[in-house]
Amino acid sequence: MSKLTDLPQWKALNGHFKTIENQDMRDWFMADANRFKTLSLQACGILLDYSKNRITSETLELLFTLARAVNLEGWRERMFKGEKINNTEGRAVLHVALRNRSNTPVFVDGADVMPAVNDVLARMGTFADAVRNGAWTGATGKRITDVVNIGIGGSDLGPNMVTEALSAYASKEMRYHFVSNVDGAHIAHVLSQTSWDTTLFIICSKTFTTQETMLNAQTARAWFIDQGGRDKDVARHFVAATTNVAAAEKFGIPKENLFEFWDWVGGRFSLWSAVGVSIAVAIGKDGFSRLLSGAHAMDRHFQDAPLEQNMPVILAMLRIWYTNFFGAQSWAVIPFSQNLRWFPDYTQQGTMESNGKSTDRDGQAVDYATSPVTWGKAGTDCQHSFFQLLHQGTKFIPADFLAAAQPDVLVEGHHDILLANFIAQTEALMVGKTEAQVRQELQAQGMKPETLEALLPHKVFPGNRPTNSLVYTRLDPETLGALIALYEHMTFVQGVMWNVNSFDQWGVELGKQLAQRILPELTGTKPADSHDSSTNNLINFMRKMRH
């Protein structure tokens, strides 16, 4: 492929940007009563309103032309067909097969993966329902009251986010805990709330070698034995989800307690696989099926809808537009939903581990920006933390706002206020408040002219700040499945546009390697002297201070 920035379609967008950059959305809304109608669409129970963006029909046309020039449709087909598009690891990318509810064959190396997918899914479902209905008990015959998922990254963020998001659908008979951090405070806190004979540990690790997860799993096992469990009781209290069956067995988890998945499932795309076993325990086999169905519906939409009406593609185009032409450095993801409070963290790994790259697929350094920093927090809390900067700061930060029309939990009077704030914030970011409006307001309050003039500039809102609104009826399993798949596909589309491999993560390796080297230096008898002076001194300072 020619260099992205040399493509005529890229240059056309550059030229178009110069005509747009100083234009104002407010004028476009005034001039076109149909702007919402033109720039919104519905799919899989989700309404996407993208009319509050600094785009015209021409912007979109140019972006779609660029998408076609980089063969987005071809890449999409290659992913769904099971081609090894993860080129640096030589792997297919088939999280879509895990939720392939149509059950059409999907081939990797000539073999249909669907029988194995269906088999593990059925075993997960049977296990989950047995824990839920009390048929699966602890070693002393007591019901399971606490489920502890031990994993990190994709083996934690997805299950944690979904279990919390769907807490309205989860069994109230159990509590769900997620231990990820190697900081002992994390596991100690969880263990202090549980009892060995009623706790089920789920060890989730694609590789079954991740340092944090292995240590947390060993600590959990040692605690279990220390509290009264016997070696033979481990089988009633420890299960695992992994691609590395041999390592899990070596850890002591019997084969019948292992839920397998495969190298073509990326860690950050793995909640649909055996990694979702904690989700299945929480919301049941049927609930998990509904989650998969919602994601499958979004897969079909992504596969079949023309680019112009394709929700993941549109969201990706907007990210390209602002990242590469407006120079946006970050993107806020703001669910107006307490139960979705982990969604920003989850999408952070999805987008930044996937597209935080500066080398393209062909090994060339890129000369354009790739993934923006993804961050956010649940509303309305964030209105009282970082919204000041969104409204009046010097940074240009586009944002996704998410909300359900109906509450997860009905508490009289709350949801209307939540929604009013959601809508008000997107309106405020767009319309802002002019000097003339502020002056009029202050005059109406009878403020003295001198005070008024001093205060006036502080009360002006520039506006013209872009947002997407994603609205759905309820945060039910189908809708959540569709929402997650939407973000997954959006991320893939951006990777295609930037010509990066969205499915490897070499950037996490160096720190892991150095930590292996530093550990014995920190705990050994000799002071460190083989690093730069900062690193040596940090190690040696900590050696002194740590006792």
Given a contact cutoff of 8 angstroms between Cβ atoms, the answer to whether 344 and 335 are in contact is yes
- Figure out which of the listed residues 82, 138, 154, 379 binds ligand F6P, where binding follows CB under 6 A: 154
Cβ 519 to ligand F6P, closest distance in Å? 18
CA separation (Å) from 65 to 139, 158, 302, 305, 308?
62, 34, 17, 16, 10
Judged by CB under 6 A, does residue 149 bind ligand F6P?
Answer: no
Say which DSSP state 91 is in.
B
- Scanning 55-63, 206-214, 314-322, 435-443 for contacts with ligand F6P by CB under 6 A, the matching segment is 206-214
Cβ 352 to ligand F6P, closest distance in Å? 11
**Which 353-382 residues touch ligand F6P, going by CB under 6 A?**
353
Tell me which amino acid residue 449 is: P
Judged by CB under 6 A, does residue 383 bind ligand F6P?
Answer: no
- Figure out which of the listed residues 236, 268, 285, 489 binds ligand F6P, where binding follows CB under 6 A: 268
Judged by CB under 6 A, does residue 1 bind ligand F6P?
Answer: no
Binding mask 295-334 for ligand F6P (x = CB under 6 A): ----------------------------------------
Q: Which is nearer to ligand F6P, 86 or 467 (CB)?
A: 86
Taking the C-alpha atoms of residue 211 and residue 152, their distance in angstroms, rounded to an integer, is: 10
Judged by CB under 6 A, does residue 158 bind ligand F6P?
Answer: no
Q: Which is nearer to ligand F6P, 210 or 425 (CB)?
A: 210
Judged by CB under 6 A, does residue 95 bind ligand F6P?
Answer: no
- Residue 333: which of 160, 161, 76, 154 has the closest Cα? 161
Judged by CB under 6 A, does residue 152 bind ligand F6P?
Answer: yes
- Residue 276: which of 151, 370, 428, 430 has the closest Cα? 151
Chain-centroid distance, C-alpha 128: 24
Catalytically annotated residues = 353, 384, 512
Q: Regarding beta strands 399-404 and 330-335, do their DSSP bridges make them parallel or antiparallel, or are they unpaired?
A: parallel
Cβ 243 to ligand F6P, closest distance in Å? 8
Judged by CB under 6 A, does residue 76 bind ligand F6P?
Answer: no
- Residue 460: which of 431, 490, 421 has the closest Cα? 431
- Scanning 94-102, 146-154, 280-288, 319-327 for contacts with ligand F6P by CB under 6 A, the matching segment is 146-154
Q: Which is nearer to ligand F6P, 44 or 248 (CB)?
A: 248
Given a contact cutoff of 8 angstroms between Cβ atoms, the answer to whether 326 and 512 are in contact is no
Judged by CB under 6 A, does residue 160 bind ligand F6P?
Answer: no
**Which 334-353 residues touch ligand F6P, going by CB under 6 A?**
353
CB-CB neighbours of 514 under 10 Å: 12
Cβ 518 to ligand F6P, closest distance in Å? 18
Cβ 345 to ligand F6P, closest distance in Å? 13
Judged by CB under 6 A, does residue 466 bind ligand F6P?
Answer: no
The sign of the dihedral angle between the CA atoms of 285, 286, 290, 296 is positive
Judged by CB under 6 A, does residue 257 bind ligand F6P?
Answer: no
Place of tokens 């029988």: 115
Give the start-end residues of each E strand in 405-529.
467-472
Backbone angles phi, psi at 199, to 5 degrees: -110, 135
CB-CB neighbours of 164 under 10 Å: 18
- Figure out which of the listed residues 149, 213, 479, 502 binds ligand F6P, where binding follows CB under 6 A: 213
Taking the C-alpha atoms of residue 62 and residue 463, their distance in angstroms, rounded to an integer, is: 25
Judged by CB under 6 A, does residue 86 bind ligand F6P?
Answer: no
Burial class (CB in 10 A: 0-12, 13-18, 19+), 8: exposed
Judged by CB under 6 A, does residue 205 bind ligand F6P?
Answer: yes
Partner residues linked to 41 by β-bridges: 48
* DSSP state letters, 264-303: TS-GGG-TTTGGGHHHHHHHHHHHHHHHHHHHHHHHHHHH
Judged by CB under 6 A, does residue 207 bind ligand F6P?
Answer: yes
Q: Which is nearer to ligand F6P, 353 or 360 (CB)?
A: 353
Given a contact cutoff of 8 angstroms between Cβ atoms, the answer to whether 159 and 278 are in contact is yes
Structure tokens at 99: 């939720």
Cβ 210 to ligand F6P, closest distance in Å? 3
Size of the site for ligand F6P (CB under 6 A): 14
Q: Which is nearer to ligand F6P, 215 or 452 (CB)?
A: 215
CB-CB neighbours of 105 under 10 Å: 12
Given a contact cutoff of 8 angstroms between Cβ atoms, the answer to whether 193 and 146 are in contact is yes
**Which 417-456 residues touch ligand F6P, going by CB under 6 A?**
none
- Residue 264: which of 417, 103, 147, 93 has the closest Cα? 93
- Scanning 110-118, 170-178, 203-211, 462-470 for contacts with ligand F6P by CB under 6 A, the matching segment is 203-211
- Scanning 205-213, 257-265, 278-286, 519-527 for contacts with ligand F6P by CB under 6 A, the matching segment is 205-213
Binding mask 493-522 for ligand F6P (x = CB under 6 A): ------------x--x--------------
Which spans of this chain sit near ligand F6P (rule: CB under 6 A)?
152-155, 205-207, 210, 213, 267-268, 353, 505, 508
